[in-house]
Structure 1
């Protein structure tokens, strides 16, 4: 009987500690805009309002009062079906003077497609349009299928651009090979040229910055810590949060904490020598889909998990501290922190919403 009581006490303490570590907090939310068909990414304009991408291929301006206007954009090679479509919008660091932005999207057709990036200029005032659009990167090789494009992007302190790329789902072995862009993060200049100090000098894929990725869905540069944070989908379990370093191998598919969807092992190894171990893993998978910095913490939005998580950095690691928005019951595609430190999320549905979230 005494042993039973002790065991129950230990279990109760463990549950209590878990609840303290990650507490669900009800937050105040304000819907800025709704009826957005599968929104994917957003950016706040200095003059007010937001640019929002819709996966189907549309670029939308959302005014501060929630009014929506289409932004004229021509992407003749856009491939939009299943997971393919228009993805990230990212304003240039000097956008206020140049009005330049970059967009990632699936380009090609059913038989041959991959992730492309274009640079363009946004007109000075509404009704907006993007002009002088030019391709600055095309992931190779082109492959069949409409899954795992990656497509998140971030600017580094030196003005170069990181572009995250998926493994194409059925081409996962290519993530370990350095002669292609599948399952890689690449680094390029704003004009599309390759920086001379990239880690790999070979001509086949000299843009490669890191490799061994599955399907990167969050990517951000942390100026305060001079660090690159990233998360990616595992298969069944094994979603990862990583610190990205030049030349790093992040293991997919030779080392993973997940298993295949049919229950078979992808690899017998969770970790291997020479492979960068994840800082945090999600099992079962919550499908992290967005990443932002807020007051020095990381915010991670989830599709399957239908929540927003907050992580605090201490002793070179990230600890889950809070969870938000589970009461919405919605898939959350993206989280974004505006220059005035407001937090916004995009929900993933045919009736998607842009929501402002008030966090402590």
Structure 2
């Protein structure tokens, strides 16, 4: 057992009452070299102090309300929870949308607007993603926008929530929704990850939005200047395509968008997202199909954008965040990835458009999500039933 696991086991949890592409970047496929518990050039020695802030069933995503110490999280079955991380006061949130729960589907991502950081907690714009049922045995991801209204310090409700974007088309199955949402740093654009829904070939068909990243206005309409807007038969929402199952997106400190996605059996990818580019799925992958049948690996002449980092065996990322805090010395600008299979955190050093894995930190449980708190601490959600919300600081 790692020291981090020992610390986690000895700290008493506080249970909450509310329960052909331009491949200028990544032109050569980089395989990761796992370095367990390594420390690359910083003062942080790889040991965490871990505090538990309660347990939840199947948590999926979390976000701090900008300008506050309030953390809001989603659970896949369809609940919203919140806690004031300074006082440990649980906050009840009602008004979550009805979701199509099952498989990988349910309530998904959550986002607030940094531009509202100076506003009182009373009313904030909130964005949510979830799986929505369609006709027959079909379903698809959606994004909704509403207001989180907190009339009391311990009670909030979601009001005027309406769907502003739908994954198209709705299909059968309950996998690969992706539905991560990320605002550009200036908040002019809303990027949404739209998974291939385990249908594979639609990711190469620009007439639909499966296997794509879409770029929208904040109201959900297609953003002006999208690369396929003038192409007959193509979606005017698409920013990039040829993706499989994107579970993390974030902007680096230079304003570049990156994403991390699950490969099949092998071939998880960290990609620099480029306008109007094709990332190859399912024509190219550094993994193989689950039945063992081969998929051609990326090659310099295949016409697709190559992953900047590729993992085989997989890490099964839950999400990632670019770290820009002060608590963890030497981590500024690094990508911190939550690992499901790896049961911990993976740290990737990013320099410009290049990247390499530099360390892994074992937490002893599948990790669904990691975000950075206002003070630079890491806030981690474990995966599954009875999963803990953890605050990690240098130990």
Pick the aligned partner of 1:190 from 210, 213, 218: 218
Over 3 Å counting, the alpha-carbon distance change for 1:18 and 1:267 in structure 2 is closer
CA distance in 1, matches of 2:149, 2:194: 29
How many Å apart are 1:99 and its aligned residue? Answer: 0.9
Alignment partner, residue 151 of structure 1: 179
Cα RMSD of the aligned pairs, angstroms, is: 2.1
CA distance in 1, matches of 2:143, 2:273: 21
How many Å apart are 1:245 and its aligned residue? Answer: 1.0
Alignment partner, residue 277 of structure 1: 306
How do residues 26-175 of structure 1 correspond to structure 2 at under 5 angstroms?
26-34=47-55, 36-45=56-65, 46-64=67-85, 65-76=87-98, 78-96=99-117, 97=119, 99-109=124-134, 111-124=137-150, 125-159=153-187, 160-169=189-198, 171-175=199-203
Alignment partner, residue 323 of structure 1: 360
Q: String of CA shifts for 1:43-102, please: whole Å, max 9, x gaps.
A: 1123322110001100111232444343112424x2111110001001123233361010
How many Å apart are 1:315 and its aligned residue? Answer: 5.8
Uncovered stretches (5+) of structure 2, i.e. residues with no partner: 1-32, 40-44, 324-331
Residue pair 1:153, 1:220 contacting (<8 A) in 2 also: no
Over 3 Å counting, the alpha-carbon distance change for 1:274 and 1:181 in structure 2 is same
How many Å apart are 1:18 and its aligned residue? Answer: 6.9
- Higher relative contact order, chain-length normalized (CA < 8 Å, sep 6+): 2
Secondary structure of the 2:114 match is coil
Alignment partner, residue 13 of structure 1: none
Over 3 Å counting, the alpha-carbon distance change for 1:248 and 1:31 in structure 2 is same
Uncovered stretches (5+) of structure 1, i.e. residues with no partner: 1-16
Mean Cα displacement is larger for which, 306-315 or 172-181? 306-315
Over 3 Å counting, the alpha-carbon distance change for 1:273 and 1:337 in structure 2 is same
The TM-score normalised by the length of structure 2 is 0.81
Secondary structure of the 1:94 match is helix
How many Å apart are 1:157 and its aligned residue? Answer: 2.9
Secondary structure of the 1:196 match is coil
Secondary structure of the 1:179 match is coil
Alignment partner, residue 321 of structure 2: 292
Secondary structure of the 1:185 match is strand
Q: Given the alignment of the two structures, is residue 345 of structure 1 paired with residue 369 of structure 2, yes or no?
A: no
CA distance in 2, matches of 1:177, 1:106: 22
How many Å apart are 1:273 and its aligned residue? Answer: 3.4
How many Å apart are 1:27 and its aligned residue? Answer: 1.6
How many Å apart are 1:247 and its aligned residue? Answer: 0.6
Alignment partner, residue 237 of structure 2: 207
CA distance in 2, matches of 1:115, 1:20: 36
The TM-score normalised by the length of structure 1 is 0.88
Residue pair 1:33, 1:67 contacting (<8 A) in 2 also: no
Pick the aligned partner of 2:367 from 308, 332, 344: 332
How many Å apart are 1:111 and its aligned residue? Answer: 1.0
Over 3 Å counting, the alpha-carbon distance change for 1:42 and 1:268 in structure 2 is closer
Residue pair 1:95, 1:101 contacting (<8 A) in 2 also: no
CA distance in 2, matches of 1:318, 1:347: 26
